[in-house]
Structure 1
Amino acid sequence: MMSSFTIRQADPHDFSELTEIWFNASVKAHDFISEIYWKNNKVKMHDTYLPMSEVYLVEDMSNIYGFIALVENKIAAIFVSPELQGKGIGKLLINHAKGIRNNLELSVYQQNINSVRFYESVGFKVVAETLDEETRSKEFLMRWE
């Protein structure tokens, strides 16, 4: 199944679909944050965050399944469609980013245990604890080098 996936740089016409993947995956992964918060940030994701990032997506002939957004050496976002999580798509995206960067860092909610474990499994280490000012949720700053 993995061999049918390709990675390419996203274009602005992909942003609506990527925003939906971001929204659905965010609601699923962050049940400790109100769904309204994610709804309120959809326009910002589409109009501001995705355009300012270097975005790569995973697709096959018919669908987009996930994406990674880089701002310099920071992973600003990495999301996989909820129904396809656990199939290696996130690892594919991380490996692509590792191939074009010497080091990477990201912030992840401490309560999002599955994501913390995933990042550890692909070589990231916790280097600091921080607080997301908007959601008031604790985060880990994680780094790979």
Structure 2
Amino acid sequence: MSDCSIRPLAAGDLDDVIGIWLEGNKQAHPFVDASYWEGNAAAVREALPQADVFVCERAGEVLGFIGLSGHHIEGLFVRDSARSQGVGTRLLDLAKSRQDRLMLCVYAQNERAARLYLREGFAVVQTRIDEATGHEEYLMEWEA
């Protein structure tokens, strides 16, 4: 399990978080043109302060983050070099400790993330098409 500490997003984290978001999306979603993610980075940067965002940090380096709006997980991203070290699980555990029900969307082709969510107790409640990209996604739910 990761030995990172979790804390709320600080203004100084924005560049790291956007970098992790952009690279994570490009790596996890090669089926979506990279220009889609690049074109949305500025909007995500502006939206981050509106959500409850928590970062997992070790030795001053942001390893990953989770964004929450109420019971909806807006995003969970882990730096490539920190994957498979428990960072995502730590961040999900934080979200679970704050809500008794969580919802999220994940692309069906993002099998690694879908497996993580299933392993963490989420269930697919709906399969649908993401209107922005035209790709199939799962709406997943977790209940305490």
Report the TM-score when normalising by structure 2: 0.96
In structure 1, the partner of 2:17 is 18
In structure 2, the partner of 1:37 is 36
SS in structure 1 of the partner of residue 128 of structure 2: strand
What displacement does 1:84 show?
Answer: 1.3
What displacement does 1:71 show?
Answer: 0.5
What displacement does 1:62 show?
Answer: 2.1
Instruction: Report if the CA contact (8 A) 2:2-2:90 is conserved.
Output: no
Task: State the percentage of identical aligned residues.
Answer: 34
Is 1:110 matched with 2:95?
A: no
SS in structure 1 of the partner of residue 103 of structure 2: strand
Report the TM-score when normalising by structure 1: 0.95
What displacement does 1:131 show?
Answer: 1.5
SS in structure 1 of the partner of residue 49 of structure 2: coil
What displacement does 1:16 show?
Answer: 1.6
- 1:1-16 matches, cutoff 5 A: 2-3=2-3, 5-16=4-15
CA RMSD of aligned residues (A): 1.0
Residues paired across the two proteins, number:
143
Segment drifting more, 93-102 vs 6-15 = 6-15
What displacement does 1:14 show?
Answer: 1.4
Match of 2:99 among 101, 104, 110: 101
Distance 2:118 2:111 in 1: 11
What displacement does 1:60 show?
Answer: 1.2
What displacement does 1:28 show?
Answer: 0.4
Q: Which runs of 5+ in 1 are unaligned?
A: none
